[in-house]
A = this chain, B = another copy of it.
Amino acid sequence: MARPRKPLLSADRIVAAALVLVDEEGLDAVSTRRLAAELGVSGPSLYNHFRTKDQILEAVADAVSAQVDLSMFEDGRDWRRALHDWAVSYREALTAHPHLVPVLARGPGRRPAGLRLADAVFGAMVAAGWPPAQATSIGALMRYFVLGSALGSFAGGFVDDVSAYDPADYPHLGQAHLLAERQEQIDARAFETGLSALLDGLALQHARSTGAGTPS
């Protein structure tokens, strides 16, 4: 075929197809040949639009990061509520594409949407009166919690098989095989419990450091 008069591919089309493939069949299914086939071209064609396969995945990760809502840092919401709403939006974006979390976990690097996200949180915390060093910590620790919660479900990590949990070995895991079933609910509840605890704890600290305010 050689060069068509109208390009068959574009960075956006490649990213979109890669996201579908990741969601449907996991990270391992994304090979350059497979992805190209999905787009109706041959493997090496992708290299006209991205320098490496890794850069394709980075672009996919950035597209997902871009879906995280940041508007709560702009209106007048107090820092605690803003942080809560942001964490919820962040987690939703990631759990919609669980196979991609290991890629996102590599850090914002040079991904624009990832950086915008880090920038918004940091700026909002400083504006709320947190010292810069604390604002950095908050950005980091919220990221830890959200990524951790999206990466590998806790409940889904257990096997749906009674015999896997011999009571002699694990005296307290008698109900563990049930976790797999109610996976989503258990992960969602643990996330909310942890997020509330985190924000309660930060509010205590904020009250102490500004010497005023009533926490919780």
Contacts and interface: CB of A to CB of B under 8 A. Distances in A.
Contacts of A143: 148, 154
B205 A170 contact: no
A69 to B, nearest CB: 18
Nearest to A216: B204
B155 A194 contact: no
A41 interface: no
Interface stretch (A6-14, A16-24, A103-111): A103-111
A172 B119 contact: yes
A154 B191 contact: no
B216 A144 contact: no
Nearest to A139: B154
Contacts of A88: none
A190 B137 contact: yes
Nearest to A107: B157
Contacts of A172: 119-120, 122-123, 126
Interface stretch (A32-40, A45-53, A158-166): A158-166
Contacts of A158: 107-109, 118
Contacts of A169: 112, 115-116, 119
B200 A157 contact: no
Contacts of A152: 105-107, 147
Interface string A127-167: 00000111011111111111111011111111100001100
A29 interface: no
Interface string A186-207: 1101110110111111101100
A126 B174 CA distance: 13
Given A119-B172, A138-B193, A197-B202, 5 more contacts: A105-B152, A118-B170, A138-B190, A144-B154, A197-B197
Interface of A: 102, 105-110, 112, 115-116, 118-120, 122-123, 126, 132-134, 136-149, 151-159, 164-165, 169-173, 175-176, 179, 186-187, 189-191, 193-194, 196-202, 204-205, 216
Shortest 5 CB-CB contacts between residues of A and residues of B: A107-B157, A197-B201, A148-B148, A141-B194, A144-B148
